[in-house]
Structure 1
Amino acid sequence: MPDRPFWLEAFGGRSYAVDRKSSPEPILVEHLSIAVLGGTQPDKLDRLLVQNDDDGLLARYLVTYPAQPPLRRPTTAVDNKTLQIAYQRLRALEPVTDEHGNKTPQLLYLDAAAQDVLQEFREQCRDWEIEASGLMKSHIGKLPGLAVRVATVFALLDYAKDGLAPVKMISTVHLGRACHYVGEHLRMHAHRSYGVASRPSEIRAASRIAEIIVAEGLTEINTREIQRRGLSDLQSAKEIAPAFAVLENANWIRPAPHTGSGRPRKSYVVNPRAEVVK
């Protein structure tokens, strides 16, 4: 990601000065705050998570790496009217006036009970940090701050949905929910994301093939079967062979016996017990 220091500044929401070549006066952004939402392919995790300096930028992202869901036809329609009302409520929130008469965003503080919850979560994160290393350790160190941000989002979402009194304080209701979501749910997604990225390429490739075997109930597999799928990093025999070797060593597959005349095709028989993994 280019200009990483800029994006690190955008995480804090503080003032930021942008220098311009065409003018001696910089542009002053009073609150540099940018929301980033997007997705990537698992094959790109290695470059995103491993082949970058640990400057704290990626550690600030909340990542999800869910299992592939089954294909289902949609059964419900989007309630656009409710969404529109929610957006209108959020856009109607007024800034406050500071001591100089300037408009400024409303500061939201944690109430006393929520502060106790946050301290407990900080202590829990410290215990997790002791057992972690590398990028995961850096990410866990950011979880308390991320939980506070998520709690603010939860509080504003509830206001947008219910239309009750505007949010003035962050309570244990929203902070407790955020700590659980960030610490117990999203932390597991981070473990999977960082773990996949740090594994050797042949292990990642073997895992991809194993997922195909289980999902499709394959009883036999070969190099051409994998190549025709056009999967990234699994398109040549040179890339596929190490993955097959990993699966063979793990007793997932074994070479299929050759029958008939002609040049034998390198095929593998799948261990029937692989079906149990489903």
Structure 2
Amino acid sequence: MRLPIYQVDAFTDRVFAGNPAAVVPLERWLPDEQLQAIAAENNLAETAYFLRSDDVFELRWFTPAVEVDLCGHATLATAFVISTLLEPGRDRLDFVTRQAGTLTVTRSGDLFTLDFPSRPAEPVAAPDPGLAAALGGPAPVSVLAARDYLVVYEDEAAVRALAPDMAALAKLDRYAVCVTAPGADGVDFVSRFFAPAQGIPEDPVTGSAHCTLIPYWAARLGKTALSARQVSARGGELACALAGDRVRIGGKAVLYLEGAITV
């Protein structure tokens, strides 16, 4: 069986930056074991699979190790592939997912905006005692949690300087760890994201983490429109907004690779 495959760099306007995702269109769902094997072979943070169902698209995401409940950059990459290559000019896409409900992506020029659920974090009275040490930096200002730990630092320099112990992070009692701090030079906040237990030591740009980052920074800064930067080695830019119990996450994307896989 030959399947088309696209590799897209998301949350960036140039190749070799942002977060790479594989996008694989399907005509029917393959066995989960095969979907996971393809994702492991791709060895990217996410491989997205989609198939058309009437006028919407069913969408699933896999890391090299597990299927995930929500993924931003691979959703953006999928929307880019459909509206740029497969159905040029399409400016709205509705993705039906298994755990995150229906996710809408709209396109305006080269900007794609994801409509995702807001996932506010709450303070953690007793975070995992190994958390701060595992992150390999100074003591954080505060620790909150939603799906992931949200660890807040004093400034961007502290976030950039973190040298996490990935083996220790993989043993923590949450899905992943997002670290954040106020930004500078017109950026409201910065972040990094670590999910070694899910097969992703450091994710370059994490859309789903902004479901938690946006409500936190909107409340802290007293505004609903925010600019964000993920300060991984590849880096990425996100235009963010809080809209009630939803968040808007905007970004660009660029095609890196187009081909076929044989399974």
Larger RCO (CA under 8 A, 6+ residues apart): 2
More strand by share: 2
User: Larger radius of gyration, structure 1 or 2?
Assistant: 1
More helix by share: 1
